[in-house]
Every structure is written in structure tokens, then in C-alpha cells.
Structure 1
Amino acid sequence: MHGNLGNILILMSVAVVAVWLFKRINLPPILAYLFCGILAGPDILALFEHPEDMQNFAELGIVFLLFSLGLEFSLPKMLAMRHLVFGVGLGQMVITTLVFTGLALLVGFEQKAALVVGGMVALSSTAIVIKQTSDLGILNTPRAQIAVSILLLQDLAVVPLLILVPLLSADSEQSLALAISFAFLKGLIVVGILMSVGKWVLPKVFSEVARTRTDELFVLTTIMVALMAAGLAFSFGLSMALGAFLAGMMLGESQYKHQLEADIRPFRDILMGLFFITIGMRLEPHNLPAQIHWALLGLACIVVLKVCIIRISALIFHLDKKDAWAAGLKLCQMGEFSFVLAALAVDHQILTSQQGSLLLTIGVMSMAITPWLVDKSPEFAKIISREKELDVAGLKQVPDNAKEMSDHVLIFGFGRVGQSVSRLLKTEAIPYKVVDADPVRVQESQSAGEPVYFGDVKQKDILRAVGIDKAKMVLITFDQHEKAKSVIELVSSLYPNLPIVVRTRKDYRMEELLDSGATQVVPEILEGSLMLVTQVLQLSGVPMSRILKRVRKERKGHYGNMHGFFPGETTELDYVKQDKLEFMHAVILTSDAFAVGKSLQELDIAAMKVSLRGLRRDNNELPDPEQGTILQAGDVLVIAGKPRRVESAERLLLEGH
């Protein structure tokens, strides 16, 4: 018992370090978990004598993953993108499965094993591709939308594949056609039961649970629903994943969708991590020297053929060739569910452990190169599609006369915000120049006579070429936080006195941009609130001069009075926002509170790293109390700051430590 506990602690420690390390080098956590599994496996550390004992527990990760997938599954969204999903997506899935099934047969796999291999290779990594495209800010581009549509179809195809693998097992005595027919019939029964329960029972259950306002009960109910649906499917001889997916799909259109997803995520992520660790334990490093040439050959074959197949599927439906090549490069890896199918096939003796290990090795390598391929896909797509160099190389050349302009505004990014600003500058006859990294947009803008040039604003040569030394100010309009920070740091280091104005959607990251050297940060949410207040005050009869004075004061103070808000049950927090947002909190001083009888100066609230927003006493509000004010029992102090600091300040005010 103590030995197992020690091994579990070692495994957790390795997992923590590995996830941190892989994150630092921009690799997905899935690879970190697989790496942990390899280390913990029988060939290296051999932490567990019977690693298969962990399998049943780890399979719950798949149940929760499919439940989450069902919650995210949107029938209206799929119907809206049906041309891409059921056109390009279905074409890619069918062609890739057939091609790689044929190749597997050619290299000596049995028929059933070859079909599993074809299905495995046809899948791509939804988690890695969506996260990478989102981080790069290209999720809404045509090439990313093609990739998303294909991923939607693949996610839908996972469910029948998970059902099919057990039916292909070698110990099945009935014919495959008969087995599939029985599975289909049982599937209809399960769907009927779950749909009935989902329509008539679950809404009432969750409505009652929600009224109790007990987080623990909501979490327990969510887990119970997912496991009961999985158990129902399993009792009919079907995949537990199918039941969980159907349960999630039923609840996906309910008002509780986001809360359910938030509740299930911690369990899903932890158990999925454990699942991928158990898969890593199946890898056989001792066979790697003998298999490495096959693994590299398989990797090259999968990458090249998947890219070409996606291009062919897109060609059938007359999509842009450059976007098709770029989408193919994004999706040329194997996916998370490929590992699931491999593990399932080995368990059912459709694949040997050596074959499973080889396929897992190829999958790991394909995932490892995915972030780089997603980042470089537009460049490779242009090369492959043999587009004219004018689109990029020609646009990079900033004309010599562009440097002659002086006292102008430099706009970095020519999206909707940049274009709106440029139109207003033009009406006021203020000269400006624009740098943008989208060749199509630059070409369109140049054709319309706009002073827009192609280039990467992180390069000093581009900045000098557009006359940054003679500019009156720089405006950064693109919504890519890390890129904006690096550009601000570069510009402020070269020209410390040049004003830099930055637009951001993330008001909780204002301080980072200001610390990087920005002169003014314009947060969209807070500016929108200011404009709303302006309209309300004007309609309420407040003189415009007073309104403008108040607005100027807020901007000059970096929106200091607008930071902080009272959180509620619906406030969504992630790890980034948790450390950046400012919360407001009312602290009621009881008769035995530490702060009673002390002055604000004695307490030194500023030293607690929170700000005092007001003091209420006897239902009267003192918005700016003097430092000599002595606090009394029943006073209400309104403080604002980061969540953890607010909690610490409250403890200090009430308990004195």
C-alpha cells in the first residue's frame, strides 16, 4: 500500500514537471502525459507491476471527454456549416480511411486491423488545432474554418468508430454485418431511453438542483448523469462513450450547458491525463530502435497523404486551393481519439502490442510537429499552391517615398478597427500609414489607394521603412496580446518619446501593456461603458461639459474608477483572469472585528495591496473617507483588488492576521 502511494506521488511529480516543461516549449499537455507514461512504464521506472489495473479508472476520462464533446456538439452549427462538414469533412474522413486501410493491407496488416488503422489515421487532434489557431488569432479565417468543419465531422465519426472496434474483435463469433445490425438496434433503444429521460426528467432534475444553489450537488448530479448514461449503454453491450456522448448532446441545448461543462472539466482533464499516461505505458521503448525507421516512414506518409487528401476533398467542392493546403497542413497529425482507438484495438486483440506501440509512436511524433505546422501553414500553402510572389514578396517592399512623410500616424493592423480609425483621420486631413501582415487585405487596400504596406511590425527594418522616426504616434489595433507587448517593447526601446496607443479587448491585461511601454491603452469593454454612461448622463440632463470632463478624468487615470466589479455565480474565471481581474467586495465589520476602533491610517489598507472604494455607516455612504476616520462596528468597507488579495485583506480586517 505504502509502496503504491509512493509510486503515485512519483508519477504525479513527474506529470507536474513534464506538463510545465512541455508547456514552456509550446508542446501540448497530451504529449507530456504520454511522456510520463513512458517513464512510468515497465521499460524505465516500472512504477506499477500491473499497469492494466489503472485502465478501468482511466477509461472514465474517455467517458467525461465524450460527455463534454456532446455538450459542445451543436446541431444548428453543424447544419449552418453542412456544406463544409458533410462535404469536405465527410470526403476527407471516407477517403483517408479507405486509402490508409489499403496501405495497411499492403504492408501486412489483417483486414480488421487495417480498418482500425484507417480510422485512426483519418482522425486529427481537435484540442491541439483549435487551441493553436485560437492562440494565433486565426480561428475565423477561411483556412481555419475549413479545418474546424473537418474536425466537427471527425468528432461525430468518433462515436461509430468506438462502437465498431469491439465488434471487430477476433473473439466475435457472429458475422460483422449481423453484429452491426444488433448494435444499431440496441443503439436505437439506448437513444430512445436517453432522449426520453433528457426531455422529461433531466430538465426538472437540474432545475431543482439549481434552486438549491449548492455547487457540490450540481457537480455530483452532473457526474451521476454522465456515468448513468455510460452505464446504460454498456449494459446494452455498447460503448460507454456512446452513452456519455448522447447524455452530453441532450444537455447541450439546455440553459445549464456552460455550468455543466465547467463542472465536468476538472474531472475530465485529470482522468484524461491518467488515460494518456496509461497509453504511454503501452509504448515499448525497447522496440523503438528496431521500429524507428518505420515510424519515420509512417509519419512522412501520413503527413503527405493527409494533406493531399484534404486538398482533393476541397477541390471537389471548389474551395480556394491556398486555404485547402493550409487546412491540410493543420490537420495532418493523428488525434487524441487515435490513441483511444489504438488502446481499444490492443485490448480486443485486433492489433498486437508491437503494432499498437508503433502507431502510438507515429501519433506522438505527428502531434509534436503540429504547433510548428499550424504556425507555418500559410507560408507553406503559398509555396505549394505556387501563388505569384506579388502577394507577399512584392508587398514587403515599402516604396521609398513612404519614408518622406512626417508628423503622421502609424497604424499597425488594418482590420475593422484600423480601417475605421483611418477613415476618420482622412476626414480630418491627418496623414497616416498602415502596416498589416495579411497580403490579401494589403493588396485590396493598395488597389483602393490606401497607404497600406505589407510587413511584420516586429522587424526594425519595416518600422524604419514606414518612417517611424518622423511619426507623431503609433496606434496598435490588432488583438494579439503577446505580439502587441513585443511590438510596444521594441518601439519604446527605439523611440522612448513616441506615444503608443493600444487597443485591447482584455481590460484585465491593461497593466501588462502599460508596463511594456504603452502611453495609453484603450480597453473596448471599459470604453463601451464610458460611451454608455455618456449617453445616459446626457439624457438625464447633465451638461455636456461636465460629462466630457468626467470622461477625460477616467481616461487620464487609466480607468481607475471603472476597474473592479462585484462577482456573482455567473462570473466566468480562468487561470489568467483569476490573477488579472479586480473584484470588489463589501466587508462588514462585526463588533469583535480587528479593525473596529482603529483609524484607516493605522490599518494602512494600501499596504494590503487593495484599494478602498468607499465606507458605509448608518446607511450613509462616504465615498472618500479621511485617513483619520475611526472605524465602528457595523461599518461596511468596500475594497477592490485581485481576488486573493481581497480575501487576505478581509481576513486582516476581521481577524487581524
Structure 2
Amino acid sequence: MNGTFLDVLALLAIAVGLVWSFRRVKLPAILAYLVTGLIAGPDVAAWVEDPDEYHFIAELGVVLLLFSLGLEFSLPKMIAMRRLVFGLGAGQVVICSVLFAGLAYLWLGDWNAAMVIGGTLALSSTAVVIKQLGESSQLTTRKGQATVAVLLFQDIAVVPMLIVIPLLASASADTSIWESLGIALVKGAGVVILLMTIGKWVLPHVFREIARLRTDELFVLATLLVALVAGGLTHLFGLSMALGAFLAGMMLGESKYKHQLEADIRPFRDILMGLFFITVGMQLDLSIFLRHLHWIILAVLVIGLLKMLVVRLVAGLMKEREEDAWSAGLMLFQMGEFGFVLVSLAFSYALLPTDIASLLVGVGVLGMAVTPVVIQRSHQLVKPLLRANTLELKTEIVQPDTSKPKRVLVLGFGRVGQTVSRFLTNENIEHLAIDHDSKRVQEATAGGANVFFGDGARRDILKTVHADQVELIIITFADDLKALEVLKSVREMNDHAEVIVRSRDDLRLEAMMQAGATQVVPDTLEASLMLVSQILSRTGVPIRKILARLDQARRSHYGDMHGFYPGETTDMDPEKIDRLQFLHAVQLTDNAYACGKELAQLGLDDLGLQVKSVRRDGQEHSEVAGDFKLQQGDVLLIAGGPRAVEAGESFLLNG
């Protein structure tokens, strides 16, 4: 084995281990790749002495990243959000770029390096911020939308920055930057027209023909070819490869193949981007990082503070709420993944010295490391900055009267909870709902709903609303784990009430019943029952018989509906596999162990299996007792977990 192969093997092994460990503690995978590069680089293990060996392959990751960005670039979405995107977003990028560039010039005395640093620090991490906003349920809030709008403009601003950096390097030698920029704009306009023409008149026909063949490999190859040819074309004109990939993605972003293209390109993009961030980590000079750690921490704080102030100022001028403005600015405090792209590009063109590039990478790594914590605690961090009258306006929620217990308690006021509440109101049944989404509670109470603001899992909140005295409690959370947690809290206080729990499916039905649920209503099974009732009704079955069938299914806790036949597309996630219930048909062959034995003798219950039916000579026996004797040719329909089904089949055939 040659040395390069061993280097790649070592990089892969470290990356797998670090990505796993970082994700366990909810840190972004980008940080794991950067640390992998640091470990493998010349300052630590020195497995890779020259990071430039991987530079070209890593650059393909940037090309595919910009291609994906182009696919996600939606002109209608831009138009819908134009006020925030081109107002707040443009204001943040321009002001922060000029501000940071000015500070960098005072520090370094070099305008080229200062412009690179200004553009780099003005950007924030789209990948990390949007992921954390989604996980903390803030993506659809006003502050979340403002943050996404700024990130969207930053992603657009990356494209001209990628054009300017090579021009700064060439202009420093002979011509002026404005002359080079003018030439680049003419070239760029020519390339854009050429690519748009190809994209409008050629690519749709090409992908239509490829789609007709239904060959996945050809679709993937064509996608890669389009991205790389577009990148190569712009590179031929002296512009960035990433610019061409972005334009190619943008051309295909409005096509019906957008989602398939994105799915095809994602594995290659993620792997190559991982390699790119590994090469960035290799460029981090550890001695410089450790020696200047205090300055790096100070830089993260100062950069974050200035970004927050700029966003607050611009958002304030746009009449955005004070809390949303501060929160959006706080969430954008870090340097983003495109910042690493710009630093790497500027370093390759010798616009940044090694120590400055290492410091910028260090600032980016530290900022991204603390981003998840900052976003999760944004409300607490912003709270001291709010004026007293704004704080009171935000936190003042008119709580309903809880002096006496209501007849029904609805925990969770999402879509399902609101539907339940409307029907109870129509029947004049006294009830109270609880929800911890302040905006939803404010809207609901303003509309006349009887909703209490609080977390239904907390004992003190449950005690306040007299959950220990209520006759009927309905838990409507979409998250089964949350519903189970609330159910346990309720049962600790109230052991006599009827508790109906909404569940997404039947994976945790058994656990909920054991925790004290009177009835569990799984969405998927109830949807199946409603579909069946419609079908039976339209085929002439009397409504009384249909209702009896539905009632029987519910009384048996959906016993006959548990288990399904797996297919190639069945989700076999390791976290779910032990809770799935499969159906599997086993035919007893000539020498099968179970032939001639009674079901009770086999003890299938001990294996976690249930015999749903036995088919013999074309006749189905749906209810078989323990004394039912099996014989050659019988087909047993067994139900159980995937592993139990596999073990059961082996036992029935071989003993």
C-alpha cells in the first residue's frame, strides 16, 4: 500500500470517529472535519505534510456546494422576501464588510487583505444557523425569517466575492482593480448569457431523455457533468469555477428535476465538502492559534457584537420588533462555512499571510462551536437588552381563570389540540388547553380561546390547572417521547382520570398503555380506519356494522392492525427496528421442525411472536388455539419484531 492510500484511510477513520462524537454532543459536523484536518496536518500527526495535494479534489466540493446553492436559489422566494433580503440582508453585508475591512486596514495596512477579511467576517454560517433554528422551532418565527433573509443575501454575496478575490491578486501586479473588475463583468455577462441559453434550450431536453431511461447512474453522472462543465467554462474565462456551478444550479433550480438533482448531488457534495474543510483545518497553525487564543476569543466577541449592533440598527430602521432585531443579530454572530472558502481561496492567491489565515480559521472554528448554545439560549441572552416596556409587552399574556378545575384538560394546542378544542366548545363542554408557544397562546387568547401558557410536562403547571382533579385529559403532542413524558407526569398526580393520548404511529403504543393511558390514538392507524370506513360505506356495508367494526378495533387497541409486510423502502433505522411489528408468512416444508406439533408446545409467545392465522389447503384459520396441530404445507402468518420474526422462522423450520 502506498503512502497516499494510508493517508486517506487515516483521514477517513479520524473523520468518522470525530463526526460521530461531535454529533453526539450536538456540535456541527464541519467542526469535526476542521479538527480532523488539524490532527492530520503538519502541526500534530504530520500524516499530510502538504495539504495542496488534496486541494483540487477539495475544490470540487466547493463547486458542488455552490451548485446546490444555485438549486435552492428561488426567484419567487426572493421576490416574496425582497424587503428583508435586499433591505436587512444587503444592509448587514455592506455595512459589516466596510466596517471590518476598515478595521483590518488599520491593523494590516493592506487594502487587498483588508477587503478579503471584511467580506469573510461579514458572512455567517447558513448550514449551522438554519439547522439550529429548525431544531429549536424558531425557523418560522419573525426573528427566524429575518435571520434566513440575511443568510440568503449572504449566499448571493458569496458569488461576487469569489469573483473579486482572483481579481485582487491580478490587479495587485499591473492593472487597477476597477479595470480588472470591468473586464470580469464583461466576461461574466458573456458566460451568464451562454449558460442561460444552454440551460433554457438544451438542458431540459437532455434531462428529459435521461429521465425516460430511468437509469439512476446516468442521472447522477449527468448532474455531475453539468456542474463541472459549467464550472470549467467560467474557469476558462478567468472566473471562479464556483460561479459557473452556481449559475448551472440556478438554471436547473426551477425545473421539475430540482429535488432529484439535489438528492443525487448531496452524497458527493457532503464527502468532498468534508475533505475541503479537512484541508482548511490543515492550514490552521496550532502554535499561532494557541499563542493568540485570547485574541481569537476577543475577536469572536467583538465581531459578534458589531454584527449584532448593525443588524439591530438596520432592522430598527425597517420597523422590526426590538426583540426580533436583537435576536437575529445574535444568531448571525459567527463566521460561516463560506468564510473558510474565501480564506482558502485568498490564501492560495497569496492575499493573506499564513498567520492571518490561521487566525481567521481559528475565529471561525470557535464561533461555530458555540453557535448551537447561543441560538438555543437566544431569548435569555437578548432579554437584558430589551427596554422594560418592550419586555412587558412581550411577556404579558392574559392567563385564563384557573381557580376551579375544568371538566376536560387539553395538553398541547397545535393543530390537533385546536380541533379538539373547537368540538368541545361547540358542545358547550367546559375545558382548558395548555401550550408553551407564547405567540400561539397570544393569538389564541386574542381570538377567544381558553388557553393557559405553560409547559404541560411540568408538575407545577399541571398543579396550577388542577390536573389532579380533572375527569378527562387529552394529550395531543406530535412528539411521542414528549407525550410519554407528559403522560407519566399526569399519572403521578392523577390516577383516576381518563387519559387519551395522540400518537404518530403504534411504535410506542405498548409503552403508553403501560404508562397509564386509557386510550392511545395513533394517527396512522386512525387514518387507515377512516379510509376503511369510507370504502365500506361506498360498497354498501351498513353504517351500524361499520361503526361496530371500528369500535372493535379501538377496544382491542388496534390488535388486528399491528404489523405490516416490509418492503425494500421500509425504514430500517436502528432506533426504530426494535419497535417495528412485521408480518411474515412461513410455509412448513417436508422436514420442518414444527410439523406434527401443537402451537402451545412451540412456545412462540416466549419468542415475542403471535400467530395471526394458519392457511391450510386454501382455507384460512384466523383464530387458532394452543391445541391446533400443525402439519406439512401449512402457511403460518406470524407477527413480531424484525429480529423475532427472523428467529421464529428459523425455529419453526429447524428447531
For the aligned pair, the TM-score class normalised by the smaller chain equals 0.7 to 0.9
Q: Does 1:104 align with 2:84?
A: no
Verify the 8 A CA contact 1:589 1:596 in the aligned structure 2.
no
Partner letter of residue 112 of structure 1?
Answer: N
Partner letter of residue 18 of structure 1?
Answer: L
SS in structure 2 at match of 1:107:
helix
What residue is the counterpart of 1:477 in the other structure?
Answer: 476
Task: Output aligned runs, 1:366-445, within 5 Å.
Answer: 366-388=367-389, 390=392, 395=397, 402=402, 404-405=404-405, 408-445=407-444
SS in structure 2 at match of 1:542:
coil
Verify the 8 A CA contact 1:567 1:583 in the aligned structure 2.
no
- Summarize deviations over 1:56-100 as a string: whole Å, max 9, x none: 111221122122222222222222222222222222222221221
What residue is the counterpart of 1:189 in the other structure?
Answer: 190
Q: Take 2:450 and 2:439, find their aligned partners in 1: how far apart are those partners? A: 15
Q: Does 1:339 align with 2:340?
A: yes
Shift of residue 348 of structure 1?
Answer: 1.0
What residue is the counterpart of 1:223 in the other structure?
Answer: 224
Verify the 8 A CA contact 2:594 2:630 in the aligned structure 1.
no
What residue is the counterpart of 1:260 in the other structure?
Answer: 261
Partner letter of residue 38 of structure 1?
Answer: L
What residue is the counterpart of 1:163 in the other structure?
Answer: 163
Verify the 8 A CA contact 1:321 1:385 in the aligned structure 2.
yes
Change (3 A) 1:427 1:231: same
- Summarize deviations over 1:287-313 as a string: whole Å, max 9, x none: 123312221121111111111211222
Change (3 A) 1:445 1:606: same
- Summarize deviations over 1:257-302 as a string: whole Å, max 9, x none: 2222222211111111111111111111111233122211211111
What residue ranges of structure 1 are gaps of 5+ in the alignment?
Answer: none
- Summarize deviations over 1:621-643 as a string: whole Å, max 9, x none: 9594968676769x9x998888x
- Summarize deviations over 1:595-621 as a string: whole Å, max 9, x none: 999999799999998988889999x89
What residue is the counterpart of 2:58 in the other structure?
Answer: 58
What residue is the counterpart of 1:42 in the other structure?
Answer: 42
Q: Take 1:588 and 1:566, find their aligned partners in 2: how far apart are those partners? A: 13
Q: Take 1:612 and 1:79, find their aligned partners in 2: how far apart are those partners? A: 59
Change (3 A) 1:227 1:448: closer
Verify the 8 A CA contact 1:508 1:580 in the aligned structure 2.
no
Verify the 8 A CA contact 1:501 1:520 in the aligned structure 2.
yes
Task: Output the aligned Cα RMSD.
Answer: 4.0
Verify the 8 A CA contact 2:596 2:629 in the aligned structure 1.
no
- Summarize deviations over 1:372-416 as a string: whole Å, max 9, x none: 2211223434442225455576659x78x725316x322223234
What residue is the counterpart of 1:87 in the other structure?
Answer: 87
Change (3 A) 1:468 1:14: same
Q: Take 2:114 and 2:483, find their aligned partners in 1: how far apart are those partners? A: 48
SS in structure 2 at match of 1:402:
coil
Verify the 8 A CA contact 1:425 1:432 in the aligned structure 2.
yes
Moved more, 55-64 or 443-452: 443-452
Moved more, 547-556 or 133-142: 547-556
Verify the 8 A CA contact 1:323 1:381 in the aligned structure 2.
no
Q: Take 2:611 and 2:92, find their aligned partners in 1: how far apart are those partners? A: 59
Q: Take 1:104 and 1:89, find their aligned partners in 2: how far apart are those partners? A: 22
Q: Take 1:210 and 1:316, find their aligned partners in 2: how far apart are those partners? A: 49
Shift of residue 148 of structure 1?
Answer: 1.5
Partner letter of residue 455 of structure 2?
Answer: D
| Identical aligned residues as a percent | 46
What residue is the counterpart of 1:144 in the other structure?
Answer: 144
Partner letter of residue 97 of structure 1?
Answer: S
TM-score (norm 1): 0.85
Partner letter of residue 276 of structure 1?
Answer: F
TM-score (norm 2): 0.86
Shift of residue 438 of structure 1?
Answer: 2.8
- Higher alpha-carbon Rg: 2
Task: Output aligned runs, 1:604-619, within 5 Å.
Answer: none
Verify the 8 A CA contact 2:480 2:504 in the aligned structure 1.
no
What residue is the counterpart of 2:178 in the other structure?
Answer: 177
Q: Take 2:616 and 2:94, find their aligned partners in 1: how far apart are those partners? A: 71
What residue is the counterpart of 1:464 in the other structure?
Answer: 463
What residue is the counterpart of 1:531 in the other structure?
Answer: 530
SS in structure 2 at match of 1:306:
helix
Equivalent residues, number = 649
Moved more, 454-463 or 559-568: 559-568
Shift of residue 558 of structure 1?
Answer: 5.1
Shift of residue 583 of structure 1?
Answer: 9.7
What residue is the counterpart of 1:361 in the other structure?
Answer: 362
Partner letter of residue 215 of structure 1?
Answer: D
- Summarize deviations over 1:102-136 as a string: whole Å, max 9, x none: 22222225212111112112211111122112122
Change (3 A) 1:381 1:211: same
Q: Take 1:50 and 1:196, find their aligned partners in 2: how far apart are those partners? A: 41
Verify the 8 A CA contact 1:229 1:247 in the aligned structure 2.
yes
Moved more, 383-392 or 294-303: 383-392
SS in structure 1 at match of 2:468:
helix
Change (3 A) 1:234 1:553: farther
- Summarize deviations over 1:295-345 as a string: whole Å, max 9, x none: 112111111111121122222222222222222222222111111111111
Q: Take 1:561 and 1:609, find their aligned partners in 2: how far apart are those partners? A: 16
